[in-house]
Structure formats: structure tokens, C-alpha cells
Structure 1
Amino acid sequence: MSNQITVDSAATLLDNIRAVVEPLVIDNGQTFDRLKSVFLIAVQQNPDILKCSEESLRREISKCAADGLVPDSKEAVILPYKNSSGVFLANYQPMVMGIIKRMKELGGVFSIACSVVHKNDEFIYDEADPDALSHKPDRFASIEERGAIIGGYAVFRDNLRRVMHTEVMTMADFEAVRKASKAPNSPAWTIWPTEMYRKSVLRRGAKYISINNDKIRALIERQDEMFDYSQPRVAERVNPFTGQVLEHEPARSISHQQSEALTFTASQAKEMQPIENGQPVQEQSSKKAHAQKQKQEPVKTNVLPKVPDISIASEDKEKLVEAVEKVLAIATDKTISAEERRGVLKEAAKNWQPHIPEYAKPLIKACIDMVDWSIHKEIAGEPWTADHAVFVHDAKELLGVDKLKVGKYQ
């Protein structure tokens, strides 16, 4: 009887968030019913999942659906954990099997070999010849006989079975990844350590192969650790205008407190370059900074941004459409919280200026302001999607395109 109550509770929870999750599932060619049935089995196996807050379950299940995976402990897993306040929260983790599955489906990769290496395994790797890697473990030996894990590797092959990239990591590398996590003793690391090692080498290696699929990039860039909002953390960032992975770029932690609105202007963006002539740029004098501040009109969160009236040159159209889409899509990314979206937006604001023609900078600035405005409204519990949709429509008309890919409104 208790199992039936657990199943009924889980089914009700999924039905309550169906409107949010189903479009994500359908977009990946799957069905909501399959996701639901797999989640019900996961709840039966681990009833603590239902102790998690509905908000965290909504967020983590949405991530899983957006990645095209199911939480069956093979493709992905939903892990319950307690935060510092004793509240149960859900943590979604894509598994190695799920990542490989999606990369083969969408990423143009024919096969991926990814494994850990034990001390007594036969392992040979010639860095000058990526085809020469040889790993011969004794699968019938006990864990004790194979010895401790000393490292791991991932080999990516294309449809002609040629090696695209080989990544090798030592145990010291794995420990460095774990120590960089703000939750080194989280369920992901304590329950699935071998899986986390494999995923570490898989994710690092995936950065060196050509991936032009947004879904795959989003999947492999999922953070392995639970977020800690109180300390600075090292994060992987992607320049939204070039696709360049800014690996291990230090990022400020994201505060749960509502912070001031972004006030980036075209003139301020020019001052965001931290290095000049090989030397750090010194801060302006207080007098000059004060005069500069008085000349600029900061964006207020209660002022609804508008699309500027500018003419778009035909040779810049494709690049500007991509930039507008990637910035505006930040507001509609339901796989991360509003606070996390603010962090992504700040990174975008820092990197857009060098890649946009001077005359078009007011357009990208307006897009950044619109996303910031939307985030503030969402945090305040106020409606924003209708105004965001109007802005998207106006931007679409300005750019002369039939549609802008900025996500779904939920």
C-alpha cells in the first residue's frame, strides 16, 4: 500500500508539471508517458525523491527532459540531498551512458570508448599515435585484484572510425575536478564516484571535437556539482557570439539576493577589456569615473527596453540574428534558475562587444537589457513573458526574418 501511495504522489507531481516538461520531451523525439513511467520506477527505488521540494524537482526534471534523457540510473539519475537548512532538494545528473547516447544521436560521433583504468590493468598509450591506445582489463578479476583506480580515458571516433580525439586523465586530475566542486561529498560523488570520473574525462575530451549541436553542448556542460551560491567558483562559459568555450574562467558566485540591474552601455563595454598593451588596465580616477557616470543613463528594472530603430546591413544579418537569438534565449532557458540565468547573462554582456558592428551595438544592448528586465520580473514573481514576446517580435521585424529561435514560453 505504501508503494502505491508513493507512485500516486509521483504521478500527481509529474501531471502538475506536464505543461512545462512535455514540450521539452517532444522536442527531443520522446514521449511524456515514457518519462513519467521511468520517473515512477525511480521513485519506487528511492522514495526520498518525493521529499524534495516541488520547485527543485520541476527544475531538475526539466533539465533531464531538455537533454533528451530519462532518469533510469543508466542514462541519468535524480538524486535527493539535504541543503544546509535541512531541506531536501533534487539534483539531476546525466550519466556517461546518456551522454554517449545523445552524442552519437546528435553530435556526429560514431563511437565513444570511455573507461577508468585500475592499477593492475594493462594500459598503453602513445601520445604521438592516438590509434595506439590499448586497455586490457581483467574483467573476471575482483576489484581488489585489479587494484585502485589510477586514471581514465575517452576515445572519440567519427563515422569512418577514425580517432577524432583521445583524452587521458590521471587520478590526480580526477581529484582536482572533485576538489574544484563546491559539493565534493554530494551524492553524485559519494554514490557514483567511478561514474563521475568517467564523466570528467568524457566532458573534457568532448571540448576538443567539433560539436555544432546546441543540445549536445548544453548536455556536456552540465555542472557536475551542486551549486554553492556563497563562494566564488570556477565555471565553464561559452562566448554566445563565437561559440568559444572559455574553459575554467573564474566567475563570481550568484547571489540569491536581487542585485542591481545590468547597466552595460556601448561606451562601458569598451572599458571591459582587462588587459591593454600586456598590462592590467588601471582604474580611472574617482573624478573621471564620477563624470563618466553622470553622462550615462543606467537601465532601471522598471523601464521596459525597446528595440532600437536602426538599419541592418545585409552582410551582418546572419551574425546579428544568431547573436540576438542567443542573448534573448537566456531569458527562456527553464533548465536553470533565474539566478543562474543572471550569471550567464553577465558573461554574455562581457563578451558581446568585440564581435558586433558599431552601428548594431544598440540592438544587442537592448537585448541584454530585455533579458535582465525579464529575470528581475521573474524573481519578483511578476509576469514578463508577454512583454518579452513583443520584444522578440519587434526584433524579428527589424532583422527581417520569419522567426527567432529563443525557446518556449512556459
Structure 2
Amino acid sequence: MSDKLLVIHNNLEKLLDSKREAMPTNFNKTRFLQNCMTVLQDTSGIAECSPVSVARTMLKGAFLGLDFFNKECYAIIYKGQVEFQTDYKGEVKLAKKYSTKPVKEIYAKLVRAGDDFSEEIISGNQTINFKPLPFNNGEIVGAFAVVIFQDGTMHYDTMSTEEIEKIKVNFSRKSNKTGEYSKAWVVTPGEMYKKTVLRRLCKTIDLDFDTIEQQQAFEDAGDVDFNQEVKPQQNSPLNPNPVIIEAEFTEVTTESEGDPVEAEQE
């Protein structure tokens, strides 16, 4: 393990220990650390990032019980900055786990030119019909998300490509801060379309997270911010105020031989 990765490992381990009460039930610290280091070894640009910022980013995945190695979430690096994002399947996992109303199935689909898609209201009940063309690689015209609860009821949401693009332009956190879009929008736009409509559907589902750390990590993981109102900053280690984190741990460094130095507790 390189000196940089060792610094990240030691900082992340200390954070996990200091916040163990905020971790999900059955959280396996050893496996999580191993998986994080495996992923970071193959992550380009990691040397340009602050070890503390990387450790804080990985901590968000721990709070939510998501696995970076299984690609349920990502640490995305761009121009020396690291950001946390959930994958589509990570969003599905969280919705199933934290919905107060038991979920039987939840998913999102892309609708392409040539697919058969319709919405209907039958006897007062909303329903959708979707019959995609086999192996359709046509232009994406929209996306929809569906949640089916164990009691048989369902919710769904639909968004046209034009609507998703407008939301990306106006409400993308990355765009609002830098004038650019996150790498995911460029490399995997279809997955971001599905994640966007699924995230908006989740606004209609009562998700009850166990801790404030989980709630904020979930909010941070969404590239699109559907909450337009300004909310007061909450006392959580995920807030951008470094005083909160620094009050709990000091960045771990390495000696010239690569041996870790004990962090001082304040």
C-alpha cells in the first residue's frame, strides 16, 4: 500500500471508530476498509486529493451501508476534488431498506424511440403500460420509476428527456458550483436519467433513516437537488464546516518509512 493510501486508510479507520454508533446494524468495518482500499488503488487522480477529503467521502458510504467495491456508490474524482455519489442500484437498495412502508419492488426504466409506453387511469387507479422494443438503442425520450409496495399499492413518476435535461441544468449541484456537470452525466447519461427519476419518486416515499448522518449522506449522494428551500445546517460530520470533523480527529500522517503516526485526540 502506498504512503498516500496508508494515510487515507488510517484516517478512514479512525473516522469509522469515532462514528461507529452511526453505522448500520451488522456493519463490517474490516471488510468495508478492505473494499475501499481495493477500489482506491485503481482510482486515477487519488494522489491529487486530500486524504481527509477522501476519508470523509468514503465515510458517507459506510453510514448508508453501501459498498464501493460492488459499485453501489462511487468516490468520483475530478480536478483534485472528490465527491460521493450513489449508483442506481444503491438508490434501489436504500429505498427498500428505509421505506416505512414495506417495498416489494422498485425500479426505473428508460423509454426509447419506438418503445410502447402509456399511462392510464382505470376506475380511478393509475397504471402504466410499457413494452420496449428488444435491444432498442434508439434515442432516449424519457424515463419512469415505479415502486410497488407489499400491500399491492404502487406509486410511479415519469420524466421526459427534456424535463430531465432542464433539471440537470438548473438543479445539478455540480453545475451550480462549477458550471460543469459531474462525470457520470457525461459517461453514463442513461443511468443518471434513471437515478434522477428514481430519486424524485423517492420524494413521495417516506424514507426513515436511523441517524442524521445517514439522512445527510443520502442527500449529498444525489447530483440533482430537488429541495429548493434553504435549510439550516445540521450538526453532522458530513457538513462542509471542517471544525466538526477536526474536533474529532487529527489527520494521520506517515513517517518516512511509511509507519503510521498515532492521531491525537482533542
* The two structures share one fold, judged by TM-score above 0.5: yes
Secondary structure of residue in 1 paired with 2:45: helix
Residue of structure 1 aligned with 2:133, choices 135, 138, 147: 138
Residues 96, 198 of structure 1: 8 Å contact kept: yes
Amino acid at match of 2:104: F
Decide which structure has greater helix share: 1
- What code does the residue aligned with 1:205 have? L
Q: Any conservation in 2 of the 1:66–1:335 contact (CA below 8 Å)?
A: no
Shift of residue 33, structure 1, vs aligned partner: 1.8
Partner of 1:336: 239
CA contact (8 A) 1:39 1:71 kept: yes
TM-score by length of 1: 0.51
Q: How many residues align?
A: 238
Deviations 1:331-372 (A, max 9, x none): 2x1122117xxxxxxxxxxxxxxxxxxxxxxxxxxxxxxxxx
Work out whether 1:170 is the aligned partner of 2:74.
no
Q: Which amino acid aligns with 1:330?
A: Q
RMSD (Å) for aligned C-alpha atoms = 3.3
Larger Cα Rg: Structure 1 or Structure 2?
1
Q: Against the structure 1 CA distance between its residues 94 and 338, is the aligned structure 2 distance closer, same or farther, given a 3 Å change threshold?
A: same
1:10 alignment partner in structure 2: 5
Task: Identify which of structures 1 and 2 has the higher relative contact order when contacts are C-alpha pairs closer than 8 Å and 6+ apart.
Answer: 2
Greater displacement, 116-125 / 88-97: 116-125
Report the counterpart of residue 29 of structure 2 in structure 1. 32
2:65 maps to which residue?
Answer: 68
3-state SS in 1 of match to 2:107: strand
Report what 1:198 is aligned to: 194
The secondary structure found in structure 1 opposite 2:9 is: helix
Instruction: Give the corresponding residue for 1:109.
Output: 103
CA distance in structure 2 between the aligned counterparts of 1:337 and 1:152, rounded to whole angstroms: 33
How many angstroms apart in 1 are the aligned matches of 2:15 and 2:248? 16
1:12 shift after superposition: 4.4
Cα distance between partner residues in 1 of 2:84 and 2:182:
12
> What's the counterpart of residue 222 of structure 2?
224
- Does 1:126 find its partner at 2:117? no
Counterparts of 1:73 and 1:91, CA distance in 2: 18
Tell me which of 140, 146, 158 is aligned to 1:155: 146
TM-score, reference length from structure 2: 0.75
Q: Give the whole-Å Cα distance in 1 for the aligned partners of 2:36 and 2:76.
A: 12
Q: Deviations over 1:60-86 (max 9, x none)?
A: 11211112112136310111111xxxx
Q: Give deviations 1:227-257, integer Å, cap 9, x for gaps.
A: xxxxxxxx55xxxxxxxxxx422x49xxxxx
Is the contact between residue 153 and residue 168 of structure 1 (CA under 8 Å) also seen in structure 2? yes
CA distance in 1, matches of 2:238, 2:88: 19
Q: % of aligned pairs identical?
A: 24
- Give distance in 1, aligned partners of 2:248 and 2:69: 35
Does the CA contact (< 8 Å) of 1:123 and 1:136 recur in 2?
Answer: yes
Q: Gapped runs of 5+ residues in structure 2? A: 250-264
1:147-296 to 2 correspondences below 5 Å? 147-163=138-154, 165-180=155-170, 181=172, 182-183=174-175, 184-214=180-210, 217-218=215-216, 220-222=218-220, 224-225=222-223, 236=226, 247-249=227-229, 251=230
Judge conservation of contact 1:25–1:65 (CA < 8 Å) in 2. no
User: How has the CA–CA distance of structure 1 residues 11 and 121 changed in structure 2, closer, same or farther, with 3 Å as cutoff?
Assistant: farther
Whether the aligned pair in 2 keeps the contact of 1:25 and 1:66 (CA below 8 Å) is no
Q: What is the CA–CA distance in structure 2 between the aligned matches of 1:121 and 1:62, rounded to whole Å?
A: 41
Per-residue CA deviation, residues 185-217 of structure 1 (Å, 9 max, x unaligned), is 221322232222111111111111233335575
Q: Which runs of 5+ in 1 are unaligned?
A: 83-87, 227-234, 237-246, 253-326, 340-377, 386-408
